Amino acid sequence: MKLAQKLSAVFSLALVGCTLAGNVQAANLITNGSFETGNFVNNGNGAMSLAVGATDVTGWKVTNAEIAWTTNLNSYGLTASDGSYFLDLTGYHDAVPYGGVTQTINTTPGQAYTLAFNLDVNQSDGRYSGPVGIQAAAGSTSQAFTFNPSGSGNQFGLFGFNFVAAASTTAITFTGTQGNQYIGLDNVSVISAAVPESSAMTSLSLLLGLGGASIFAGTRRKTRKTSS
């Protein structure tokens, strides 16, 4: 990743970190951000293939291409970063175009918000390793993210950006853009953002001093995924 891209990612996460730290009690405006509820029908492998237009995941609509809605109790050894369910934007077709999801939330025009989410890769298996890419959008504000951490095993990272609402409703959309057989998405949140500039810059300095290590929320292991 180029230096400018690193700085952009780190700065976005500095804002996210400050906002989350300063709004611990703030309500998440996203419905079902960890994909825990809905009409889940197990295909026998702990997953469910969802076609474009599907609304089986409460609050969300599938866009762009087929995706897979998966539970921790699956045949592939995959694990959610938050809760028991997560999405794989490569679905079972494992090829471009990758799938996506969208949800429209209520917002206040002119109010700043923070969108945050987890991405997942497995650096021990070339089929599921980075780089993976996703395009995240909040209304007309859109940003591309790439996840390709060092090390081995299943890893998930925290990503996000601040945006200002332009209307009383805002569409939150995620679309897979790069990957192989797995682009994990989980733990989506949108909260009201009130980040003092000094706090944001302090966090940015800390992140830069740590080489951006705080981008990565943690690691988990998983085993091979195969289509049924």
Could you give the domains of the chain? 3-220 (2.60.120.260)
Match 């945050």 to its residue by tokens. 116
pTM higher than 0.85 for the full model?
no
Q: Which of 201, 189, 217 is nearest to 28 (CA)?
A: 189
Q: Which of 39, 129, 41, 50 is nearest to 87 (CA)?
A: 50
19-28, 136-145, 162-171, 199-208: least confidently modelled range: 199-208
Q: In whole angstroms, give the CA distance from residue 192 to residue 64.
A: 28
DSSP-derived pairing of the beta strands 100-106 and 141-147: unpaired
Q: Which amino acid is at 176?
A: G
226 pLDDT above the threshold of 50: no
Q: What is the mean pLDDT of residues 30-41?
A: 98
pLDDT in tens, 138-191: 999 999 999 999 998 888 899 999 999 999 999 999 999 999 999 999 999 999
Does the bond joining 97 to the residue before it have cis omega, within 30 degrees of 0? yes
61 pLDDT above the threshold of 60: yes
